[in-house]
Amino acid sequence: MAATRRPAGRPGRSFWPPPRRGRPYGQAQGVEGVRVKLGVAHPGESPALFTEALKALSERLVYFHAEGDRYWFETRPSLNRMAQDRAAAVSREEALMELEERLRAWAKGRPALFQGVHAAPAGSGEVADEPSLRLVVLSPRTPYAKGGSEAERWAREVLEGRGRAPRRYRNTLLFLAPEAVLVPDLEEAARQYLAWRSIWEDRESLNLGAADVRQVESRLRQAEDTLRLRLEEAYRHLLVFHQPDPKAPDLEVDALRLLGSGNPLERAASKAQNEGLVLVRWHPEFLGETLARYGFWEVAEPKGVLPLRRLWEDLASYLYLPRLKDEGVLLATVAQGVKEGRFGYAERLEGGVPKGVVLGEEVAPSLGGYLLKPEVAARFLKEKTGEDVPPPPDGEGDDEKVPVPPPPRPSRPRRFYLKKTLRMESLLPEVRALAEEVLLHLYKEGGVRLEVVLEAHAEAPEGFPEDLERVLRENSRVLGAEASFEEV
């Protein structure tokens, strides 16, 4: 038998038999990121550059795989690339449907301020016409932008009617709308989430290993968190309609920016209360001013006797009147006013005559009762008992009383400054974080003038080398940056 021939090689190293393919059992797959950086980085170069490069490669290359801080090539496509392909295949309609489904999930946990929340209604007919405060959360299909937008047009359509019928209780609706410039990022986040969710659902048919399953779980959680945060960030405009002139039908809309973070429904409720858009408590003095200013007593029949149910329905209908949380606020105001002698209260009318009249005492009113001017209540009580009733507090019953102006709104800051010292070893990640988490918010906010200036200061005790000075000057000139050297 002929002797087995051994291939030539370097002295002391055997190539026969050939090495076993694959990695030894128990050894982690791929190469650590730190070893990649050691192999390619030149002295003086920032390792952060290569961290960003590895991240970009893992997201774009088909056969380049990554898990944690380890990287390798395989003949099968990477999960990241598979997710990108699936995300690109998700239609806009599918992304919007996912977003609307999440808005409906918000509505299940409505704030106590609202009696109902209508999330992404397909038409005005889906918004109830009832005398109770409601929040309408608009779909991402109708975002808000300054200077007229789909959100304002659609909100007016809902405000004017329910389906083909005119809407009666218009002073019970507030609208929450997304920022138009943030909707594209929101749709992209929905596509990424749907892509990773589909991979998770197909994990068995894809024959994924344990490491791949862990990666899919991690990326699915990240996509879920990103989508939730972008959805909360996008819904930042509370639209409130009002009627400046009771005699003119023209309506105006105020778009109030929601500050802070967290559930937009809770922030909308807080904003509505803090700005006085919805009253949860109402002093009897302001009720008296409203009745006098808008002539409620003049049209009351009998004179000076006003049905509380009619008053509540008018408050829920007309956009020039105060907006109350519910009828309980009105009834509490009436009870306090009757106790203080500002109003009278009657349980019922019999033949146009108030019965069960109360003035200056505690009472538990209902919408089936009647609100009386104090002098009318005093007259009926005197006819019944033959005793005089003390007059109401000074100024009560005077229809010409000047209304108390609301307190001025606190001023808001007008300038913003940002300064941070950056470390060269993490320059790019820190700049990127500042741009995404701070500057991008300013850039997307309409009406904000933003100027970003990058300044760098360097000192060389022995002076800058001539070749370095030449490189710095030339590169700065090409990049359009102002650069100068000083001799100290």
Q: What pLDDT shows up at residue 97? A: 96
Q: What token pair was written down for 476?
A: 């700065």
H or E element at residue 5: none
pLDDT score recorded for residue 10: 44
Residue type, 19: P
CA atoms within 13 A on the CB side of 279: 21
CA dihedral of residues 142, 236, 179, 436 (deg, nearest 10): -150
Give the distance between the most distant pair of CA atoms in the chain.
Answer: 140
Instruction: Residue count of the chain, please give it.
Output: 488
Residue 10 CB neighbours (<10 A):
7
CA distance 215 to 193: 14
425: DSSP letter: G
pLDDT number for residue 387: 54
Q: Tell how strand 235-242 and strand 252-257 pair up.
A: antiparallel
Which pLDDT belongs to residue 393? Answer: 54
Are residues 233 and 445 in contact, defined by beta-carbon separation less than 8 angstroms? no
pTM: 0.69
C-alpha–C-alpha distance, residues 360 and 337, integer Å: 8
CA distance 158 to 168: 11
Single-letter code of the amino acid located at 338:
V
DSSP per-residue string spanning 88-145: HHS-HHHHHHHHHHHHHHHHHT--TT-SEEEES-SSGGGS--SSS-EEEE--TTS-B-
DSSP readout, 160-193? HEETTEEPS-GGGEEEEEEBGGGHHHHHHHHHHH
Which residues, at least 6 apart from 363, have a Cβ–Cβ distance to it below 8 Å?
A: 335, 338, 339, 345
Contact (Cβ atoms closer than 8 angstroms) between residue 334 and residue 328: no
Q: Cα dist. 347→303, 338, 397 in Å? A: 16, 13, 21
- Token pair, residue 60, equals 């774009």
Model pLDDT, residue 329: 95
**Closest to 142 in 3D by CA, of 237, 224, 74, 215:** 237
Determine the Cα–Cα distance for residues 272 and 264; give it in Å rounded to an integer: 12
Predicted confidence pLDDT, tens digits, the chain (488 residues): 444 444 444 444 443 444 444 555 445 678 888 888 888 888 878 878 888 888 777 777 777 777 778 888 877 777 888 898 999 999 999 999 999 999 999 988 889 999 999 999 999 999 999 999 999 999 999 999 988 789 999 999 999 999 889 999 999 999 999 999 999 999 999 999 999 999 999 999 988 888 789 889 999 999 999 999 999 999 999 999 999 888 888 899 999 999 888 899 999 999 999 999 999 999 999 999 999 999 898 888 888 899 999 999 999 999 999 999 999 999 999 999 999 999 999 998 888 888 888 998 999 999 999 999 999 888 888 876 655 555 555 544 444 443 444 444 445 676 776 777 777 766 777 777 777 777 777 776 766 777 787 878 788 877 878 778 777 887 777 777 778 877 76
pLDDT for position 425: 63
CB hemisphere CA count around 57 (13 angstroms)? 17
Tell me the helices (H) and strands (E) count for the chain, helix number first. 16, 16
pLDDT at 386: 55
Beta strands 134-137; 173-178: pairing state = parallel
Q: What is the DSSP string of 240-276?
A: EEE-S-TTS---EEEEEEPPSSS-HHHHHHHHHHHTT
Closest of 4, 30, 28, 26 to residue 17, by C-alpha? 4
258 contacts 238 by C-beta, under 8 angstroms: yes
> What local confidence, expressed as pLDDT, does residue 389 receive?
52
Q: What is the pLDDT of residue 488?
A: 61
